[in-house]
Amino acid sequence: MQETTKLRQTLTLFQVVFLGLAWMTPMIYFSVYGIAYETSHGMLTQAYITAFVAIFFTAYSYGVMSKAHPTSGSAYVYAKKAIHPYVGFLVGWALLLDYLFSPIIACLMFGIYIHAQFPAVPPSVCIIALNIILAVVNIKGINFSAHISKIFVLIQIVFIAVFCTVLVIQLWDSSGPMPSVLQTDVPLPVILTGASIICFSFLGFDSVTTMAEETINAKKNIPRAIMIIILVAIALYMGPSVLTQMAFPGMTFTDVDSAGFELVKLVGGTALSSVFITVLIMAIFTQGLSSTTTVSRLLYVMGRESILPKRIFSYVHPKYKTPALNIILVSAVSLLALVISLDMAVKFVNFGALTGFIFVNLSVIAEKYIREKRRSFNGTLMYLVFPLVGAAFIGWLLSLLDSNALTIGMIWVGLGVVYYAYRSHRLRAGADRPEAAPSGLVSMQSRNARPQREAEAALSVNKYP
């Protein structure tokens, strides 16, 4: 089953933006509302501002690296080319946790909410049905996925706009002084703790880097898309956070996990809360759709470079121009939603995403500041200070993960080391020719080889743009 075709460049800038927003899910504001409100002691606006400023530096680093390497491998490619192929493999392996378990989270939440609305429908039926639908839609083509994502993301934005409009009307009709939103006497540790929770609402802007080879003028449009996504996201989060903080400065909840639903019902009554559930289910569907797209493209790049078995993972459907086998594999893995807990899946995602974020920041320093010697005042600011700030903040977030999450993550990385060693040994034993080895492996093994082999390895590393 040989690769017969390549991914097709058809995505426009705004299609990429909608796919990224679909992964990020604007409705996540309501999903994390309770825990974010409690953690920040009600200071959601300050926490969102802090989280945005912190995550902006990492988004900037993704923009720099996606412009330098407009391919679909995301952090895997950036770390491989900027730091070392072995580091790139480990980053890509860790990133698989984020991308593989994101569809699982979507399936779990879809099953939970559908079962809550229709108790006669078992969650397992919803999970299996969603996996089939996601596979079919993704195989049909990325433009089809982008079109569906656009519709459902716009519905989410409309719902948030309606929610904010109702709040504005209520505030306008209310009597008495408006409470101050940006209080200055809030302890900084409280704001930082709230920001550490809220930062996960911005996860997803990086997913668009896996679509670079299907994006028109990716070198320009992927960095633009990243910035548009996080700017739209902060606008969608800040609007309701400011208004709810003004309208309900001392709000309490019956259940922290369902606080977002309680808030919507408090603001808009039964009618708005009924619409909320429907829109939330749509949001979960599009998040699953976009995350399946993302992981299938990362697997494609790792397969194309023989890091994963090339025969399977680099296959592209001749008609639909999509990595169909990867999509089917991801859907099969997503059936783990039948047996895994939501908490466990979230831990996998957090560890993988934060690890990738750290190394993208470090890749900017390695490539721009060290290798290219961009060390003017502006260069030092953009290619050393900014990525260092981004890496430091993400490292702090990583340290906040519980011990189980860190243990699980390190076990996964350990399995990656074992797999890499096994793959290297098998390729060396099978044939002593560079073209038989993964590009990353060739780069490592060629360091002590003959000059001719080094040249061949270099060609192998740079075979793909």
pLDDT at residue number 155: 96
Residue 439 forms part of a structural domain = no
Q: Which domain holds residue 330?
A: 13-402
pLDDT at residue number 346: 81
pLDDT at residue number 201: 85
Least confident of 50-64, 316-330, 431-445: 431-445
Handedness of CA 44, 47, 49, 55 (dihedral sign): negative
Residue among 256, 252, 271, 253 at smallest CA distance from 166: 271
Tell me the per-residue pLDDT of 412-462, one tens digit each, with 9 for 90 and over: 999 999 998 888 877 777 654 544 444 445 444 444 444 444 433 433 333
Residue 452 forms part of a structural domain = no
Tokens of 131: 């996996």
What is the pLDDT confidence band of residue 411, given thresholds at 50, 70 and 90? very high
Measured in whole angstroms, how far is the alpha carbon of residue 306 from the centre of its chain? 24
- Count of the separate structural domains present in the chain: 1
Q: Helix 123-140 crosses helix 142-173 at what angle (to 10 degrees)?
A: 120
Residue 235 has pLDDT above 90, yes or no: yes
The 3-state DSSP class for residue 215 equals: strand
Residue 141 forms part of a structural domain = yes
Burial group, residue 177, by CB count within 10 angstroms (0-12, 13-18, 19+) = exposed
Residue 442 forms part of a structural domain = no
The 3-state DSSP class for residue 123 equals: helix
Tokens of 171: 């505030």
* Distance between CA atoms of residues 69 and 138, nearest Å: 25
426's enclosing H/E stretch is: helix 403-430
Contact 247, 167 (CB under 8 A): yes
Residue 368 forms part of a structural domain = yes
Residue 117 forms part of a structural domain = yes
Measured in whole angstroms, how far is the alpha carbon of residue 285 from the centre of its chain? 15
The shares of helix, strand and coil residues in the chain, as percent rounded to the nearest 5, are 80, 0, 20
Residue with tokens 């002084």: 177
pLDDT at residue number 68: 92
* Distance between CA atoms of residues 90 and 86, nearest Å: 6
Residue 465 has pLDDT above 50, yes or no: no
Mean pLDDT to the nearest integer, 155-177: 87
Residue 410 forms part of a structural domain = no
* Distance between CA atoms of residues 153 and 162, nearest Å: 14
The CATH number of residue 150's host domain is 1.20.1740.10
Handedness of CA 343, 206, 60, 244 (dihedral sign): negative
Residue 461 forms part of a structural domain = no
